[in-house]
Amino acid sequence: MKGIINTGFKVGILGGGQLGKMLVLAAQNWELETWVLDVSKDFPAGAACDHFVEGSFKDFDDVYHFGKQVDVLTIEIEHVNTEALLKLEREGIKIHPSPTALNIIKDKGLQKQFYKEKALPTSHFKFYENAKEIKTAIDNRQLTFPFVQKSRTAGYDGKGVAIIKSAEHLDRLMDTPSIIEPLVDIQKEIAVIVARNENGEVKAFPPVEMEFNPTANLVEFLFCPAAISSEIAREAIAIAKSTIEAYDLCGLLAVELFLTKDNEVLINEVAPRPHNSGHHTIDSAICSQFQQHLRAIVNYPLGNTEATIPSVMVNLLGADGHTGKAQYEGLQDCFSIEGAKFHIYGKAITKPFRKMGHVTIVDQDLENAKNKARQIQKSLKIISASQS
Ligand code: ADP
For the Cβ of 269 lying below 6 angstroms from any atom of ligand 1, the answer is yes
What residue segments make up the domains of the chain, in order of their start? 10-95, 124-182, 186-387
Nearest CA to ligand 1 atom 5: 158
- 344 Cβ closer than 6 Å to some ligand 1 atom: no
Mean pLDDT by 10 residues, the chain (388 residues): 68 98 96 96 96 98 98 97 98 98 97 98 98 96 97 78 95 96 97 98 97 68 96 98 98 98 98 97 98 96 98 95 97 97 96 96 96 95 81
Nearest CA to ligand 1 atom 3: 158
Ligand 1: centre distance to CA 227 (Å)? 20
pLDDT (0 to 100) of residue 158: 65
Which amino acid appears at position 130 of this protein? N
Ligand 1 pocket check: which of 145, 212, 268 to mutate, most ligand atoms within 8 Å of Cβ?
268
Is 286's C-beta closer than 6 angstroms to any atom of ligand 1? Answer: no
> What is the pLDDT, as a whole number, of residue 258?
98
Confirm or reject: Cβ of 157 under 6 Å from ligand 1. yes
Question: Starting from the edge strand earliest in sequence, which strands make up the sheet with 161-164, in order?
Answer: 126-128, 178-182, 147-151, 161-164
The Cα 295–Cα 275 span in angstroms is 16
Q: Class of 10-95 per CATH?
A: alpha beta
CATH placement of domain 186-387: 3.30.470.20
Contact 74, 93 (CB under 8 A): no
Q: 309 near 366, Cβ under 8 Å?
A: no
Residues 6+ apart with CB under 8 A from 220: 211, 212, 213, 314, 315, 317, 377
End-to-end, the C-alpha distance of the chain in Å comes to 53
Distances, alpha carbon 286 to alpha carbons 208, 209, 294, 324, in Å: 16, 19, 15, 38
User: Residue 92: what pLDDT?
Assistant: 97
Q: Is the peptide bond before 146 cis (omega within 30 degrees of 0)?
A: yes
Query: Which fold, 124-182?
Result: Dna Ligase; domain 1 (3.30.1490)
Would you state the pLDDT for residue 269?
97
